[in-house]
Structure 1
Amino acid sequence: MTDEENPAPRRRMVRPPTKGTAAGRGMGTKMKTADDKSMSSQQWIKRQLADPWSDRARAEGWRSRAAFKLMEIDDRFGLIRPGSRVIDLGAAPGGWVQVALKRGAQAVVGVDLLMIEPIPGAELVQADFTHPGVDGQLIEALGGEPDVVLSDMAHNTIGHRQTDHLKIVALIEIAAEFALRTLKPGGHFVTKNFQGGDAGGVLAELRAGFREVKYVKPASSRKDSSEVYLVAMGRHRDGAA
């Protein structure tokens, strides 16, 4: 039965960010002085300036330090192969898109609520991919079913632990549903999670839908961050286990 004949309820993405740009999440923009920032922003600026991964990203031309996270995951598991088709959810500012292209992907489509500066060889869409029709637009731009679905999506935390946790889980659920619905058999899925964060029923769905599921904390993740990644490999054919 097709999705059109039996449509599943579609989740809407959390509210789009109201401040900042895709470039502002990268490494190449001029930052305001600390005098113009809140204390938390000043601390973020200090971390960025003292971070060797950020320095390396600037030196090597990557749009964000997150590029090293995907490179480490791909080095370990070999997810992106020459000729792969890749969709990157929450792609701004484009570091993971750059890595996918560098690793030989045939087609890469990135989507984000924020505008992403053009990257030669990639199709970049500014949209909420959970809106009706956007998923089809991504598949059409890709030229077929994806071999890899990536999600480094994050949300603007509000400091309320329970609320922030629910937002984290919601993003994982959205990305996992998209991956399970669109990946070709044998395909792979990577999504951000956080240590101690219960991914609800998503982990069980991924274990049922993929050959293997691993938790990974890349060396380039900040040591004081609880950030980890769920890596689901080998999408089963429908009905297979």
Structure 2
Amino acid sequence: MTQKKSSSTRPGGRQTTVRVKTAAKRSNSSARWLERQLNDPYVADAKRRGFRSRAAFKLLQLDEKFHILAPGKRIVDLGAAPGGWTQVAVERVKPEQTGGQVVGLDILEMEPLAGATTFQADFLDEAAPERLKAVMGGPADVVLSDMAAPTTGHQQTDHLRIMALAEAAYDFAEEVLAPGGAFVCKLFQGGAERDLLTRLKQDFAVVKHAKPPASRQDSSETYVVATGFRGGAKRDEE
């Protein structure tokens, strides 16, 4: 009798719950964050599998559902640090064997990753998109954006900030995606995403929302996955 293998995108094994007490130099919020990290099975499994962050499982689960990544594809990863999504992209694209390409950018410093080209820059800087295009040297098959702005604690302000990044990410994707390409972007629910979704529905064959299991349930984080790029309005005007 053959044993059925467990899904590679779900954490395995049983964990002992860890309780964290507040200390003289640790606030209640810090204690809660640390306790959540210590008891998060995705954090433990990311360490076991050598992923740089638990976020790697989000992309693995999205790819399992939507089949975004494949050997030989050309991928741009926006908001790449510390490199979890970039690792998954390299694993699936196999650039060194297939001639595919993975390029990652983040405002934070990121350790080099074999099989990927990464650099530090503020994506909202006017020079950053042009630098990405120069590194790519051609169209992209997939643009990934897991970018998030620093939170202020004010829900509406934070929503508008993440939407500004999402809009900027798609402005770039619209210029570089090859026909049939895909765009995957993190959003936070709040109402301001309507304009972006309207653009995506005009430019792609299929647009779906997804909340992968690795995305914490108490978070308003969600992802939009747009596939079958037909060419954006800017390209049509040229």
Bin the TM-score by the shorter chain: 0.7 to 0.9
Which residue of structure 2 lines up, in the alignment, with residue 27 of structure 1? none
SS in structure 2 at match of 1:206: helix
CA RMSD of aligned residues (A): 1.8
The whole-number CA distance in structure 2 between the counterparts of 1:134 and 1:195 is: 27
The whole-number CA distance in structure 1 between the counterparts of 2:202 and 2:133 is: 24
How far off its partner does 1:200 sit?
Answer: 3.4
The whole-number CA distance in structure 1 between the counterparts of 2:191 and 2:60 is: 24
The counterpart of 2:171, out of the listed 161, 173, 177, is: 177
Residues 83 and 215 of structure 1, relative CA distance in 2, 3 Å threshold = same
Which residue of structure 1 lines up, in the alignment, with residue 33 of structure 2? 44
The whole-number CA distance in structure 2 between the counterparts of 1:81 and 1:180 is: 21
| Structure 2 residue 131 is the aligned partner of structure 1 residue 137 | yes
The whole-number CA distance in structure 1 between the counterparts of 2:132 and 2:54 is: 25
Contact 2:159 2:190 in 1 (8 A): no
SS in structure 2 at match of 1:82: coil
Which is bigger in relative contact order (C-alpha 8 A, separation at least 6)? Answer: 1
> Greater CA deviation, 98-107 or 207-216?
98-107
Q: Give deviations 1:95-153, integer Å, cap 9, x for gaps.
A: 00000000025111110110001101111110012322321221222232111000011
The counterpart of 1:215, out of the listed 209, 216, 226, is: 209
Identical residues among aligned pairs (%): 51
The whole-number CA distance in structure 2 between the counterparts of 1:72 and 1:34 is: 37
Contact 1:190 1:230 in 2 (8 A): yes
The whole-number CA distance in structure 2 between the counterparts of 1:182 and 1:38 is: 45
**Aligned residue type for 1:75:** E
The whole-number CA distance in structure 2 between the counterparts of 1:37 and 1:182 is: 46
Given the two structures, how large is their TM-score scaled by the length of structure 1? 0.81
Gaps of 5+ in 2: 1-21
Q: Give deviations 1:158-187, integer Å, cap 9, x for gaps.
A: 111221121121111111111112111111
The counterpart of 1:149, out of the listed 113, 122, 143, is: 143
The whole-number CA distance in structure 2 between the counterparts of 1:35 and 1:111 is: 38
The whole-number CA distance in structure 1 between the counterparts of 2:26 and 2:201 is: 44
Which residue of structure 1 lines up, in the alignment, with residue 62 of structure 2? 73
SS in structure 1 at match of 2:180: coil
Alignment of 1:162-241 (within 5 A): 162-237=156-231, 238-239=235-236
Displaced runs of 4+ in structure 1, greater than 4 A? none
Alignment of 1:96-107 (within 5 A): 96-104=85-93, 105=95, 106-107=100-101
The whole-number CA distance in structure 2 between the counterparts of 1:182 and 1:75 is: 24
Which residue of structure 2 lines up, in the alignment, with residue 89 of structure 1? 78
How far off its partner does 1:63 sit?
Answer: 0.5
SS in structure 1 at match of 2:81: coil
SS in structure 2 at match of 1:171: helix
Contact 2:160 2:192 in 1 (8 A): no
The whole-number CA distance in structure 1 between the counterparts of 2:25 and 2:101 is: 41
Report how many aligned residue pairs link the two structures. 208
How far off its partner does 1:54 sit?
Answer: 0.5
